[in-house]
Amino acid sequence: MSKIILLRHGLSQWNLENKFTGWTDVPLAPQGEEEAKRAGELVKNSDIKFDLAFCSVLERAIKTLNIVLKEIGEEEIPKIFSWRLNERHYGVLQGLNKKEIAEKYGDEQTNLWRRSYDVRPPLLSSDDPTAPKNQEKYKDIPAGELPLGESLKDCEARVMPLWYDEILPKIKDGKNILISLSGNSCRAIVKNLDNISDGEIAGLNIPTAEPLVYEFDENGNQIKHYYLSPEDVITAKIESVKKQSKV
């Protein structure tokens, strides 16, 4: 049997400021660092020992991973970093305040950009200096694979090849894996693992820095999944996220 933990990174500075973040490489907020420490304590108490970790290449996910691994004393395990685990790219919306966008474009359009499955935000121009293909970090990735803006559907299409090509084979080998990533890349994986429909995925909220465990048999079939925190804690955090996300 294999266990994986999906861990959305702790609260980032732009989460705190209610901004569209996407691929912008912002740091964790102090609260996010505390969340990551608590996540590490939960993982330590679960007695799950990891064989390796996967992580996005964004600072907030890397910091979350490092804090957790330090808390559990497993800093030396192999780590695989992949741009495919990055957050959904929000195009020209990145860096803009969500409330101000709602005031400009209306609640309905803003919620389509934020929560729908297949509606993309307005795209960056290819010569925009913030476009991934113009950043040193992504110089080894074919430019045609790098987004200028994504729907959740696009994010899913980017994330899942990593799951099937690299993560699932290790699950079948019985490895325990920690995956540190962002909200929408996590939603993309959960959508596939739990067979959530395109319509229902808009209602899925994954709280920050709450370890989500999936258990698999030797054939890579899911046995069960659960959060390490008590159900009432998860419910309260999800309700808080819903409240904060209303535009």
Looking at the annotation, which residues are catalytic?
9, 87
Whole-Å CA distances, 196 to 42, 83, 203, 226, 239: 27, 24, 10, 16, 20
Q: Is residue 132 within 8 Å of 147, Cβ to Cβ?
A: yes
**What is the token pair recorded at 214?**
């999936």
Whole-Å CA distances, 212 to 12, 178, 186: 19, 10, 10
